Structure 1
């Protein structure tokens, strides 16, 4: 989404859990990775900063430095508060619907080692887990009642930070995790339409 926002062309290479040899050149084991000429940039936040710093003639992802600092705070909030709650709500669905067959054994073992319990115990598909996530999103819901996007009148990187996770959940979980109505549901629809329009 950051590349679409900037209007930059790119070639995308999917990487399965069982294909880590594809990214050995980056000297780490996680995606996303951006390769730009001789530059190798890892981590979504670092990639967004790199794009704005090196492609200044294209639409900005952040705005000014103050906006970037505020977006970084939002990024931490999503990472520390929202992502753990989302993982607990959908991890079993991700395993069932979002992980390739050849990766299921690795995914289960690595996640169960991380959580110290079975996937089914960690993520039991309970409504309570969804409620905890939706309660954590209430401050954002209040913001979106006053403005169309997290960043104001148009989307910026703050919107992409959370919408990336929303899109992942929509693709890997058949249950309703995020509200379909109200300010957050309306924001999801706006972001979906914006993303689809720019993808075309």
Structure 2
């Protein structure tokens, strides 16, 4: 029986955009594991699996439930050791923790400020009410105020990527000779922006964009299965 991965979607269930869910998708594909993807809107997440988790991704593997993208990766690594490694050892796991911190403290806040109003517009009416209330409270600005600054935020975004560019000078993937979970962490963030943002955050000649395009082609091109924002 295949695993079930629950992931966030917009009003169109084919448009799933959560950066954390994309990490889990890429981890499952990397391991070559069979799974079913169940798209879920924001306001339905608390009802999943008896209220097991307030957030997605949420993975069911038989009788086991796992939440949080990093915990899912650790679970897959431990439970399916015969499949390709997501970390390449303890050093790779430690590096992934560091990059996760960089992504969530530097990259995610920037993409949020750029794309938050666009995300709102992808949602069903009930979810739009929830999303506006929670995000405006969290960000201390209206969605319209945030949207008015998105071009300025997007113009400043490339300078935040210098640590990634530096790494890619020495190796084709953040994980070294091949992609690892550390690549999927940052891929999830850029995929989030690709699917939601009305502003392009990566310049055509940026090495990070070249790397991202290669990530989109991984695992049968699963990253390209969801259309980019118009």
Normalising by structure 1, we get a TM-score of 0.91
| Displacement of 1:26 | 4.5
Write the distance in 1 (CA, Å) between the matches of 2:45 and 2:221: 32
Write the distance in 2 (CA, Å) between the matches of 1:169 and 1:81: 14
Q: Which runs of 5+ in 1 are unaligned?
A: none
Q: 1:119 to 1:197 in 2, by over 3 A?
A: closer
Q: 1:26 to 1:47 in 2, by over 3 A?
A: farther
Q: Determine whether 1:58 maps to 2:83.
A: yes
Write the distance in 2 (CA, Å) between the matches of 1:60 and 1:104: 39
1:135 corresponds to which of 114, 136, 159 = 159
Identify the residue that residue 120 of structure 1 maps to in structure 2.
144
Q: 1:100 to 1:180 in 2, by over 3 A?
A: farther
1:178 corresponds to which of 202, 212, 226 = 202
Identify the residue that residue 96 of structure 2 maps to in structure 1.
71
State how 1:93-104 maps to structure 2 within 5 Å. 93-96=118-121, 98-104=122-128
1:187 corresponds to which of 202, 211, 223 = 211
- Find the residue that maps to 1:41 and give its secondary structure: strand
Q: Which runs of 5+ in 2 are unaligned?
A: 1-25, 226-230
RMSD of aligned alpha carbons: 1.9
State how 1:1-200 maps to structure 2 within 5 Å. 1-23=26-48, 25-96=50-121, 98-197=122-221
The worse-fitting range, judged by mean Cα deviation, of 52-61 and 144-153 is 144-153
Query: Do the aligned residues in 1 keep the contact of 2:168 with 2:174 (CA within 8 Å)?
Result: yes
Q: Which has the higher helix share?
A: 1
Write the distance in 1 (CA, Å) between the matches of 2:206 and 2:212: 10
| Displacement of 1:180 | 2.5
Write the distance in 2 (CA, Å) between the matches of 1:27 and 1:90: 28
Write the distance in 2 (CA, Å) between the matches of 1:196 and 1:167: 16
Query: Do the aligned residues in 1 keep the contact of 2:114 with 2:147 (CA within 8 Å)?
Result: yes
